[in-house]
Structure 1
Amino acid sequence: MAGVGENDQTMQAARPEIYLNGHFMPPQEGKVSVMDRGFLFGDGVYEVIPCYGGRLFRLEHHLQRLDNSLHAIRMQNPLDRAQWQAILQRLIGQLPGADQSIYLQITRGSTGKRDHAIPTGIAPTVFVMTQPAVYPDAAALATGIKAVTLEDNRWLRCDIKAITLLANVLLRGEAMEHGAAEAILVRNGYATEGATSNLFIVLAGEIITPPKSDHLLPGITRDLVLELAQQHALPCSEKEISQQMLDSADEIWVTSSTKEVMAVVELDGRAVGNGTPGPIYTRMAGFYGEHKALLQAGRILS
């Protein structure tokens, strides 16, 4: 498989197109109005879809989450499933068989003026691009990462995959200032998720992740980890994780489309477990890797 550098060179040579409002074009030709509500208000939603070996990862799950986010902000999906499939297949076809990351964004569009009132009857702005996949650092996967706990000071609709990510950016930035790779967010005494990830702990042999709610993003990778745990008879449940449970956890993991499954080995300067990725994490990372390899080889559909 080509490395990221090789993919970058291929991408540049192919002059990859983007999709914008019904047209495919070189990225430098894409233009969006400065009056677009995404630019003025952050009024829009997005998705990030991994593509392994030219095969989209859990496309139906991602498109359903996109529909849910659009519904939550009082928008309709401007494209149907067949249209999305056609757009995405054309874009990923620019790097045949390569691992990629698809980014798509829909904003409410522009009325030509700045007004907080939600307008009706305007065309949304639809943007899609692809780029070579960037995998989690191999050393971090092998040794784990550091994290810190921070107050979850975001808004109350974190289940919407909104483009307004400033709070997440600041929280992740604060974690990095503490020498950590991720922030584990705590609201009213309970851990919700990471600044850029979903959260799992292992406590007394059980895999636990917070239940879906308005306070966290319903992660696609999160759901797959739960499915894999069930398939391999690993005890797992969805229940609230108190600060005490977090502090007592034998293992802590974070998951996302870009992080995949990653162990947290230090939290707030204290070792998690024995300070190395735990045995249940090692098994789950193996199961996830096997699932990914089957998708790359075309032996499963998503």
Structure 2
Amino acid sequence: MTPASATQAAEPLVWLNGEITPLSEARIPVLDRGFIFGDGIYEVVPVYALADDEGTVRVPFRFAQHLARDAHANFYVQVTRGVAPRGHAFPAAATPTVFAMVNPPKLPGVAQREHGVRFEAREIAEAELREADEILVTSATKEVLAVVALDGKPVGGGKPGPVYAAYQRAKQRAKQREVQALRAAAAGLQEVEK
């Protein structure tokens, strides 16, 4: 296999408006309302490869919750209102643009409040940040990261602390519950098919 063909084999495939195509060939017109007006939605759904006593299963983590709002992968979905002449009035006949893609292994995040960690969405003063015992950064693609130094000075003891550890334990338990629920649902479907 030549280096060029090895690169082609590794190229991700994407789903765009009903067709699966290599990422490098996917095209969205410049008059798409998502591009022109930011008129669309975007969501990331983590997909975990989890193992239990019965084997390994790929689980779209809290997929229903992701749709309702709010080895691993992330499933990205972007939907815009489609291509239309430039103008603010939305034409009734426009067809939505739908783009979906799965990215390589990453660990996603879930709202901290679901794990018993006090959560408050607000601005944080710099002085408050510098005095913190722990600083955590969360996202759908990074799960949770402990900040152990800020401007070269250690945060807390300079290593991940007890809130970080509690969050990680709770997150692992939540992932295992997802596997158990998926297996139970699959067993129920098999029973119905008999």
Q: Deviation of residue 277 (structure 1)?
A: 0.9
Verify the 8 A CA contact 2:46 2:107 in the aligned structure 1: no
1:99 alignment counterpart: 72
1:16–1:270 distance in 2 versus 1, CA, 3 Å: closer
Q: Deviation of residue 294 (structure 1)?
A: 4.5
Distance, in Å, in 2 between the alignment partners of 1:226 and 1:291 is 13
TM-score when normalising by structure 1: 0.47
* Structure 2 gap segments, 5+ residues each: 1-5, 50-57, 183-194
1:300–1:12 distance in 2 versus 1, CA, 3 Å: farther
Task: Give SS of 2:31's match.
Answer: coil
TM-score when normalising by structure 2: 0.70
Write the deviation string for residues 103-151 of structure 1: whole angstroms up to 9, x where unpaired.
110112111x333x14131222111111322349xxxxxxxxxxxxxxx
1:25–1:241 distance in 2 versus 1, CA, 3 Å: closer
Verify the 8 A CA contact 1:102 1:131 in the aligned structure 2: yes
2:15 aligned with 1:19, yes or no?
yes
Distance, in Å, in 2 between the alignment partners of 1:118 and 1:248 is 50
Q: Which amino acid aligns with 1:25?
A: I
Give the RMSD, CA atoms, in angstroms: 2.9
State the identity %. Answer: 41
Verify the 8 A CA contact 1:44 1:105 in the aligned structure 2: yes
Q: 1:238 aligns with which of 120, 124, 130?
A: 120
Q: 1:57 aligns with which of 58, 61, 72?
A: 61
Write the deviation string for residues 137-170 of structure 1: whole angstroms up to 9, x where unpaired.
xxxxxxxxxxxxxxxxxxxxxxxxxxxxxxxxxx
Task: Give SS of 1:300's match.
Answer: helix
Distance, in Å, in 2 between the alignment partners of 1:34 and 1:246 is 42
Q: 1:134 aligns with which of 106, 119, 123?
A: 106
Q: Which amino acid aligns with 2:100?
A: V
Q: How does 1:221-236 map to 2 (within 5 A)?
A: 221-222=110-111, 225-229=112-116, 236=118
Q: Number of aligned residue pairs: give it.
A: 165
